[in-house]
Amino acid sequence: MTDPISIASGQWLRHGRYEVRDGCVVPVKGSKSRVYDPWALRERPYESLAAIVSSRECLTLPAQQPKLVREILDWCGHFGLLGTLLHRVVGVTQAARWKRLEFADKVERDHFCPEQTTRLYIPGGWLTRVSQFSPPVIKDRSKLDAPVSLKELPQDAQQPEAVLVDLPGVTTAGGLLKREALDKTWGSHFPDLPFWERVTHDYPVPSSREFFAIYGEPVHEFVDAAWLLRNAVDAISRPVDAGAPARGINLLRQLAARTSATLEQQRDGSLRQRWVSGSLLSSLALMAMEDLAADRLHRCATCERMFLSALRQIEYCSPTCRHTMQKRRFRAKYPTYERTARKRRSAQEEH
């Protein structure tokens, strides 16, 4: 029995605690989960996410950097995983299983035939298609829900596979559809499943608590996605050349491609527009686009942290950073002042 998360209402799920197992960020077993609306938060999660990947050094063996891993786990405890797999998967065909054959008279009989589930992502959620194949038909009750062996698989059934696109800019095949067996990219996001079960496992609906309870993201993939998002924002807000803003806009557009608009009817009968997304990563990209367009996104001149403000001419994220920069400028202007002041204080103490 699945407990669907209403992606069509803009919701996402997070667990209270995460850890790294086999190189993947996964929820701690038994930790409580909570469904929330990222768009209803007072803060923009991409600000703190960008701060985690502030240096290119984070891309080199990220799973072996304890400080980086701690920051990722803490961030996920507040907002959940980015949904990098869901961001990339166009469709997934699961292994065929033996299911009870349905008869027109609705009488339940011990006749079993292969049944296969295919899930396709459509804007706002996942579409499930179930196909039954007969023949073959068997009467062995011990086969119920077991995967169908290759020699018993009907000719018109499909091999278990996922259809994916690459994250933009990660590989040379970025944006191209590719088909893979479930023990490759798809299976790598379920580290607790034995390798030999990753093709035949009966995976839950992607938009369900059961799915997120076993789903994880490789640390390097999480960092790559966060780095892409930060680079896109940097290219627009701090361009290094004339073409940088256009490249940043294109990258943000690709990252936000899993987000779409919908209408939601309120209790009083009025309509409200909402943004809905198949991944948190896509939602964060669209949030950044909104803030850049409204000129609300700024970069602190001292710590270089991203921050939001309705004020146009603002340089610092906090009074502390303003004071720090004032001290730096003073020292640059009067390099000998502090040394002279220390000598004066020492002379006074001696007398």
How does pLDDT run across 199-251, given as a tens digit for each residue?
Answer: 999 999 988 889 999 999 999 999 999 999 999 999 998 888 999 999 999 99
Whether residue 273 is found in the same domain as residue 222: yes
8 Å CB contact between 93 and 148: no
12 and 32: one domain?
yes
170 domain residue, yes or no = no
The pair of three-digit structure tokens given for residue 270, joined into one six-digit string: 């009025």
Taking alpha carbons only, the member of 173, 128, 166, 125 closest to residue 279 is 125
Do both 253 and 278 map to the same domain?
A: yes
Rounded to whole angstroms, the Cα distance separating 301 from 312 reads 14
- Identify whether residues 13 and 154 lie together within a single domain: no
Domain boundary among 126, 159, 192: 159
Domain boundary among 159, 185, 205: 159
Please state the length of the chain.
351
Query: In this structure, are 110 and 150 located in the same domain?
Result: yes
Residue at 1 is within a domain: no
**CATH number (domain holding residue 52):** 1.10.3300
Residues paired with residue 218 on neighbouring β-strands, in sequence order = 24
User: Of 159, 185, 208, at which residue does a domain stop?
Assistant: 159
In this prediction, residue 69 carries a pLDDT of 97
Say yes or no: 81 and 102 in one domain.
no
Per-residue pLDDT tens digits for 23-68: 999 999 999 999 999 998 988 999 999 999 988 899 999 999 999 9
d(CA 299, CA 142): 62
Q: Tell me whether residue 188 is in a domain.
A: no
Whether 4 has a pLDDT exceeding 60, the answer reads no
pLDDT greater than 70 at residue 300: no
Q: Confirm whether 80 is domain-assigned.
A: yes
306 in a domain, yes or no? no
Cis omega before residue 136 (within 30°)? yes
Q: Does position 188 have pLDDT exceeding 80, yes or no?
A: yes
In a domain, 113, yes or no: yes
Q: What is the identity of the amino acid at 39?
A: W
Helix (H) or strand (E) holding 291: helix 280-293
pLDDT of residue 302: 62
- Residue span of the structural domain in which 329 resides: 319-350
> In this structure, is residue 189 part of a structural domain?
no
Q: What is the arithmetic mean of pLDDT over 290-306?
A: 73
Q: Please check whether residues 103 and 73 belong to one and the same domain.
A: no
Same domain, 268 and 293: yes
Peptide bond into 194 cis (omega under 30): no
Pair (130, 80) in one structural domain: no
Nearest CA-CA partner of 275 in 293, 252, 258, 259: 259
In a domain, 262, yes or no: yes
pTM of the model: 0.83
* Spatial separation of the C-alpha atoms in residues 168 and 106, rounded to whole Å: 49
Shared domain for 256 and 231, answered yes or no, is yes
Number of domains in the chain: 3
Bridge partner list, 147: 97
